[in-house]
Amino acid sequence: MEIRKVVLTVFIFLLFDSAFFALIRVGELRLVLELNKGQYLEIMRTVDQTRNETKTMFERSYSYSELLEWEHERLNYASQSNIMRHTDPLQIVNYGKGRCQEFSILYVALCLANGYESRFVIDLLGDHTWAEIKLQGIWTHVDPTEKRVNDPYMYERDWHKNIELVYAFEDGFCEDVTNNYRISTGTYSLIF
């Protein structure tokens, strides 16, 4: 009887302890989002404001895959951290180099200028950004830096990232899309 009490006490303690730390982690994640949300909504406002100017770079409408090629012909990945960082798509094109954030911002701008619904996606804890475009009514993953389309599990599967806080930003609001990038809980449809 005494062993049962000890085991039950330890079990209750561990359960309470785990729940307590889970609540703290949720609070931390919400704080990270609140601290960064305004910055990413402002990036999307800038992208939207430059839509007409971005459109003038094209003689015709491009497909989303052609836009990836167009971007990679004009933008080089800069592995060094001391490059100038830009959030204005036109400045990104003029500068000609960037990291994942610049690739994603520019790709979203190019998609919007070519008539695609598109949004900026960021892993707030994982230091990576990408895009989503709406194809056949479904938000579809596009990593413009890696030139990968509809491979939302690549970060967890190939990069071994712990996906905890992923948000998509567009038109003045943001949406939690974390589960779309987790293998165990993902709900993505395959579109090619």
Residue 192 has pLDDT above 60, yes or no: no
CATH code, domain carrying 81: 3.10.620.30
The predicted-structure confidence for 70-87, as pLDDT tens digits, reads as follows 999 999 999 877 889 999
For the stretch 107-112, contacts whose Cβ atoms lie closer than 8 Å and that sit 24 or more positions apart, written own/partner, are 107/67, 107/68, 107/71, 107/131, 107/142, 107/144, 108/44, 108/47, 109/47, 109/50, 109/51, 109/54, 110/54, 110/62, 110/67, 110/70, 110/71, 111/64, 111/67, 112/47, 112/48, 112/51, 112/54
Residue from 4, 14, 25, 23 nearest 125 by CA:
25
**Catalytic positions, please?**
100, 128, 143
86 belongs to a structural domain: yes
76 belongs to a structural domain: yes
Return the pLDDT at 186: 55
12 belongs to a structural domain: no
The boundaries of the domain holding residue 57 are: 36-181
Return the pLDDT at 126: 81
pTM of the model: 0.82
Tell me the three-class secondary structure of 63-121, residue by residue.
CHHHHHHHHHHHCEECCCCCCCCCCCHHHHHHHCEECHHHHHHHHHHHHHHCCCCEEEE
Of the candidate ranges 45-54, 59-68, 180-189, the one whose mean pLDDT is the lowest: 180-189
Mean pLDDT, rounded, for 11-16: 56
72 belongs to a structural domain: yes
Return the pLDDT at 125: 85
The predicted-structure confidence for 31-42, as pLDDT tens digits, reads as follows 777 778 888 999
* Tally of domains in the chain: 1
45 belongs to a structural domain: yes
104 belongs to a structural domain: yes
14 belongs to a structural domain: no
63 belongs to a structural domain: yes
